[in-house]
Amino acid sequence: MIYLLYGEQYPTLKKQLKKLKETSVGLDADEFSYVVLSAKNVSVQDIVSEASKPALFSSKKMIVVTDPYFLTTSKERNEIEKIQNYEILKKYISEPSFYSDLVFFLEGSNLSLKSEIYKLLKKHAKIIEVENLTGDKLASVAHQYFEKNEVKITPDALKELLFRANGDLAKFTMDANKLCLFSKNISIDDVVALCSLKLEDNAFLIAENLIKGNIEKALKVYYDLRVFKEEPVRLIALMASQFRIITRVGILQKNNENKDSIAKIMAIHPYRVQLALQNLSLLPLEKAMLVNNELYKLDYKIKSGQIDPYYGFELFILNFKSTIRN
| CATH number of the domain where residue 182 is located | 1.10.8.60
**Residue numbers of the chain with a pLDDT score lower than 70:** 75-76, 131-136, 166-167, 326
> Which regions of the chain does DSSP assign to beta strands (E)?
2-7, 34-38, 61-66, 100-107, 126-130, 152-153, 185-186
Q: Do 170 and 248 sit in the same domain of this protein?
A: no
Q: Do 245 and 293 sit in the same domain of this protein?
A: yes
Q: Do 113 and 225 sit in the same domain of this protein?
A: no
Between the two ends of the chain, the Cα-to-Cα distance in Å is 61
Q: Which of 194, 218, 238 is the last residue of a domain?
A: 194
Q: Do 9 and 112 sit in the same domain of this protein?
A: yes
What pLDDT does residue 76 have?
A: 66
Q: Do 203 and 313 sit in the same domain of this protein?
A: yes
Q: Do 86 and 185 sit in the same domain of this protein?
A: no
- Cβ contacts of 300-306, under 8 Å, gap ≥ 24: 302/232, 302/233, 302/236, 303/233
Burial class of residue 10 (count of CB atoms within 10 Å of its CB; 0-12, 13-18, 19+): middle
Q: Which of 149, 171, 194 is the last residue of a domain?
A: 194
How far is it, in rounded angstroms, from Cα 30 to Cα 183?
40
| CATH number of the domain where residue 84 is located | 3.40.50.300
Q: Do 319 and 260 sit in the same domain of this protein?
A: yes
Q: Which of 82, 107, 130 is the last residue of a domain?
A: 130
What pLDDT does residue 299 have?
A: 92
What pLDDT does residue 274 have?
A: 86
Question: 32: domain range?
Answer: 2-130
In single-letter form, the type of residue at position 42 comes to: V
Q: What is the pLDDT of residues 223-259, one digit of tens each?
A: 888 877 778 898 899 899 889 999 999 999 999 998 8
Q: Do 159 and 210 sit in the same domain of this protein?
A: no
Tell me the sheet residues that pair with 48.
none
Q: Do 114 and 153 sit in the same domain of this protein?
A: no
Q: What is the pLDDT of residues 100-134, one digit of tens each?
A: 999 999 988 788 888 899 999 999 999 998 866 66
Q: Do 262 and 232 sit in the same domain of this protein?
A: yes
Residue 94 burial (CB count, 10 A): 11
* Rounded alpha-carbon distances, angstroms, from residue 116 to 50, 113, 123, 207: 22, 8, 11, 39
How far is it, in rounded angstroms, from Cα 120 to Cα 125?
8
Q: Do 100 and 212 sit in the same domain of this protein?
A: no
Q: Indicate the number of domains in the chain.
A: 3
The alpha carbon of residue 144 and the mean position of all alpha carbons in its chain are separated, in whole angstroms, by: 23
**Count of helix runs (H) and strand runs (E) in the chain:** 16, 7
Residue 170, SS3? helix
Q: Do 107 and 154 sit in the same domain of this protein?
A: no
How far is it, in rounded angstroms, from Cα 88 to Cα 47?
10
What pLDDT does residue 287 have?
A: 93
* Rounded alpha-carbon distances, angstroms, from residue 236 to 66, 169, 299, 302, 304: 34, 27, 7, 10, 15
DSSP per residue, 207-229 = HHHHHTT-HHHHHHHHHHHHHTT
**C-beta separation of 167 from 271 below 8 A:** yes
